Amino acid sequence: MSDLFPQSGGEFLAQELYGSRERAERFYRDQMLDVLTPQMVEFLAEQSEMVVASVDTDGRPDASIRFGEPGFVMVLDERTLAWPELRGNGVMTTVGNLLKNPSAHLMFLDRAARIGLHLRGVVRVLEPDDFAEDHPQVTQRVLPGRPPERWAVLHLSTAYIHCRKHFPKTDGVIEWGTDDPRAKGGDYFGAKDTPSPWAP
């Protein structure tokens, strides 16, 4: 497996088996970043839901959704963001997974804009007092309802677009499987204007 790109072993295997290596490398070079672009920051400020994927130490995956007021996922800097963990049913699958295995994958799907954003990284789970000490500017924001029980802070490793070509739409034809950059959303997040560690 090449160390030049950020693919997993499974990705590399599938690309080799099914002949998509060249296409994948182009995507890594053109659309995968290790920082948030200004367009990504603006996008996140408008989002009111997020899917969190985590995995336990036995390899059992979990995907859970989080909701909040627009911008409840807060950008702290170009490589760090945080979200409040609110009171739930007490099972705490996501938090438990992150405490034992801090790798996480966040997915944001904007159905109105018909575009998505993937963020991968490592998460620290912080108690409110510790989070407030580290990030007082965030905790000064008034959040509706019961205060967060804790905060999750993600340190970014990769950020990349989820293109629009398979998003549902109410008018026109969905261009299933197209390679047309326009139909896929083009460079929606301005990745080509941002230096990528995987570009030559």
CATH, residue 41? 2.30.110.10
DSSP-assigned beta bridge partners for residue 126: 151
> Do the domain assignments include residue 162?
yes
Of residues 11 and 50, the one with the higher pLDDT is 50
Structural domains in the chain (count): 1
Domain that holds residue 51: 32-193
HSE-CB for 100 with a 13 A CA cutoff: 13
> Do the domain assignments include residue 9?
no
Residue 1 pLDDT class (50, 70, 90 cuts): very low
C-alpha triplet 190, 193, 175: angle, nearest 5°: 40
> Do the domain assignments include residue 168?
yes
> Do the domain assignments include residue 66?
yes
pLDDT in tens, 54-68: 999 999 999 999 999
Average pLDDT over residues 34-45: 96
Phi–psi pair at 6, nearest 5 degrees: -90, 25
> Do the domain assignments include residue 135?
yes
> Do the domain assignments include residue 182?
yes
